[in-house]
Amino acid sequence: LMASLSVSFVITSCIIGMVISKIGRRLVLYSGIFIGVGSMVGFGFMIWINNTVLFIILSFTLRLLTGVASAMICVAAYAMVSIKYPENVQSKIALLEAANGAGLFIGPIFGGLVYQYTHFCVPFFAFSGLFMVCVPFMMKSLGPELDRDDNTHNDAPKVGYFKLLKNKRVLFAGINQFWNMIVFCSGQPIFGPRLQDKYYFSAFAVGAMFAVPCIAYIIGGPVLLPLITKKFEPRTTKIVGFFILAICCFIIGPSKILGFPDTSIAMMSIGLVILGLGAAFTIIPIIPEMLDAVEGQFLDSRSEVSDKFSGIFNMAGGFGQIC
């Protein structure tokens, strides 16, 4: 059930990356939001479904729709940032990722807290309402220039995924994102149940623990990363980030091989902080690295290249979540 979201996320990211310039990036974004709201409302109503077979079918359907919505929102968002701020992509993506981290921080805490003290359906309805409140502000802020399609004004050849992935730096950046998501997501189905079974954490406390790396991610992205990238290339930053992620895996365990205390919540918390910092160092430079890898090429298809890189970035992340 959980992997079904990632499967639909990957497929939708691939398709949207190819057609978003024709459909319109803003329309894709708004459509993704409305589909996401619909799926969340649907999950809220699941509490009144008593038939087991129907419950399972609807659960998979809504989960697939959530993946579709997430892909539409993510591909559109990253593409628009790359198009609107071509000279300052990394810092803007850092802010975008900070917002993403804030959502990952607030979501588990808010959802766990509301669920613990109210009812199953309340978190879904509450988040749906918050989503809809944001739409008018986005419609006012996002201008029609974000929907431009460079190829409608010239005879430039189409830029496909495979053509871009022939560039080794682009391919490595995609693989980088794949491994990022494996490390970032692999601990959730293991770590969460362990906190509940061994340490008797409540749903709210588990959500709070998962919020720890998100806080570090928010700090590491827009605050620390710009300072580091002034002296080091994105590739160097990503390599350092991978070493940080490797270290955090031993600490979160905690590793018996290294003699870390098995029952130390403090040790686990430190590992989660390091996880957030490492993720910031490896994820945020990916799209800027892709754009830098093809600098001077595809000059007549810049918006299409941004769309494709956004698709590759999100597809790679989705594959990592599946694995």
Closest among 195, 183, 176, 210 to 293, alpha carbons compared:
176
pLDDT at 14: 94
Check residues 270 and 323 and name the one with the higher pLDDT.
Answer: 270
Tens-digit pLDDT profile for residues 124-157: 898 888 889 988 998 888 888 888 776 545 555 6
This prediction's pTM: 0.82
Closest among 288, 234, 313, 308 to 90, alpha carbons compared:
288
pLDDT at 155: 55
Tens-digit pLDDT profile for residues 31-87: 999 999 999 999 999 989 889 999 999 999 999 999 999 999 999 999 999 888 887
Given a cut of 60, whether residue 239 has pLDDT beyond it is yes
For the chain, what percent of residues have pLDDT higher than 90?
28
Measured at the CA of 68, the angle between CA 66 and CA 73, to 5 degrees, comes to 95
Check residues 248 and 139 and name the one with the higher pLDDT.
Answer: 139
* Residue 169 neighbours by CB under 8 Å, 6+ apart: 235, 289, 290, 292, 293
pLDDT at 88: 79
Question: What band does 311 get if pLDDT is binned at 50, 70 and 90?
Answer: very high
pLDDT at 315: 94
- Whether the CB-CB separation of 1 and 296 falls below 8 Å is answered with no
pLDDT at 227: 66
In what helix (H) or strand (E) does residue 33 lie, and over which residues does it extend? Answer: helix 25-45
Angstrom distance (rounded) from CA 85 to CA 108: 31
Sorted by where each starts, the structural domains of the chain and their CATH numbers stand as: 2-322 (1.20.1250.20)
Check residues 119 and 175 and name the one with the higher pLDDT.
Answer: 175
pLDDT at 110: 77
- Hey, what are 93's tokens? 């993506």
pLDDT at 2: 65
Question: What band does 276 get if pLDDT is binned at 50, 70 and 90?
Answer: confident
* Residue 56 neighbours by CB under 8 Å, 6+ apart: none
For the chain, what percent of residues have pLDDT higher than 70?
89
Given a cut of 80, whether residue 208 has pLDDT beyond it is no
**CA distance readout (Å), 79 to 21, 265, 308:** 10, 39, 8
Tens-digit pLDDT profile for residues 193-206: 777 777 778 767 77
Given a cut of 70, whether residue 298 has pLDDT beyond it is yes
- Hey, what are 170's tokens? 């682009």
Angstrom distance (rounded) from CA 82 to CA 298: 15
CA-only gyration radius of the chain, Å = 20
Across 127-156, b (16+ Cβ under 10 Å) vs e yields bbeebeeeeeeeeeebeeebbebbbeeeee
Through-space distance between the first and last CA atoms of the chain, rounded to whole angstroms: 14
pLDDT at 242: 86
- Hey, what are 247's tokens? 């270290």
Angstrom distance (rounded) from CA 236 to CA 248: 19
pLDDT at 229: 64
pLDDT at 258: 72
3-class DSSP state of 293: helix
**CA distance readout (Å), 279 to 156, 168, 202, 226, 273:** 36, 22, 26, 15, 10
Closest among 323, 293, 318 to 89, alpha carbons compared:
293
- Hey, what are 207's tokens? 């959500």
Least confident of 94-98, 259-263, 289-293: 259-263
Tens-digit pLDDT profile for residues 166-185: 999 999 999 989 988 888 77
Given a cut of 70, whether residue 99 has pLDDT beyond it is yes
- Hey, what are 54's tokens? 């129907």
**CA distance readout (Å), 153 to 148, 156, 160, 218, 295:** 10, 9, 18, 39, 21
Across 306-319, b (16+ Cβ under 10 Å) vs e yields bbbbbbbbbbbbbb
Check residues 310 and 118 and name the one with the higher pLDDT.
Answer: 310
